[in-house]
Amino acid sequence: MNQFLAAAVLLFLPGAAVAQWKIVDDSPAQGLETPLIHEKKLVSKAGGTGFFASKRIDLIWFHANKHTFCVVDNGPIDQPNYPTLAAAMQKSKCLAGVNGGFFLKSHAPSGLMVTGGRSVGRFGQGGLLSGVILSSGNRNPHLLRRAEYGPKYKPTDLIQAGPFLVDQGATVKGLSPENSRRRTFVLHDGGKWFALGLSDPFTLAELGQVLAQKEISPKRTVHRALNLDGGTSSGLFLDRGEHVEPIHVEPFKTVRNFIGIVVR
């Protein structure tokens, strides 16, 4: 096999596209002000003239024995409950949070939303509602496929979102390679660790490739990753303690709900 044919074959090998990504850990030293673990990653892609400008991904990890998910309802668009993501997190006693799931033009949640045991909307179908994020009646966090969810979970807080970006540790097939946008997502290592994340613009296919790589978080392998409402809805807040400025990226538009991290 000559070198040109070998190169052509390499392009079609499984994982060839994944190998183009370079992930550099730029996480700050972990202070004592917050019990959450903040990881900052710089991601670049190999090109013909070297690496393109790096893109940032922030991950906020928590352990299920100490923290869980909280869904914060922002109410109708003409009279939202909170002026900002930061205000919603602070008033709801969340240590960190991101924007939540998709919503309709009427500002009703797309699919089912449960906040504090109160249900709004209906359990829905479709790729954008393929995942379920919840805190159960005994305050255990879960990241499930739609088919795995059932009455036994007795959610106090829940939203539907999608599509899955990673499942069983591998990039989900069929993700769109178009529409690079800022994105938020939820991660699960398959055990007790969960994370909320915010990324600079990626396509769904690109982000699925990046999050499936071991280098994205070597100590906590990504078993599942679920996409949330991205683009202008994307935002992230992390309270880093009294003497440290919070990390605060505000959504450009008013969203229907938020996902926070609270003490159990």
Residues 203-243: tens digit of each pLDDT: 999 999 999 999 999 899 999 999 999 999 999 999 988 77
- Could you check whether the bond before residue 251 is cis, i.e. omega within 30 degrees of 0? no
Mean pLDDT over 95-118 rounds to: 95
Nearest to 224 by CA among 171, 182, 180, 260: 171
Contact 180, 206 (CB under 8 A): yes
Structural domain of residue 234, as residue ranges? 3-263
| pTM assigned to the model | 0.90
**How many domains does the chain divide into?**
1
- Percentages helix, strand, coil for the chain, rounded to the nearest 5? 15, 40, 45
Q: Is the pLDDT at 1 greater than 60, yes or no?
A: no
Q: How long is the chain?
A: 264
How far apart are alpha carbons 176 and 185 in whole angstroms?
A: 16
pLDDT tier at 47 (50, 70, 90 boundaries)? Answer: low
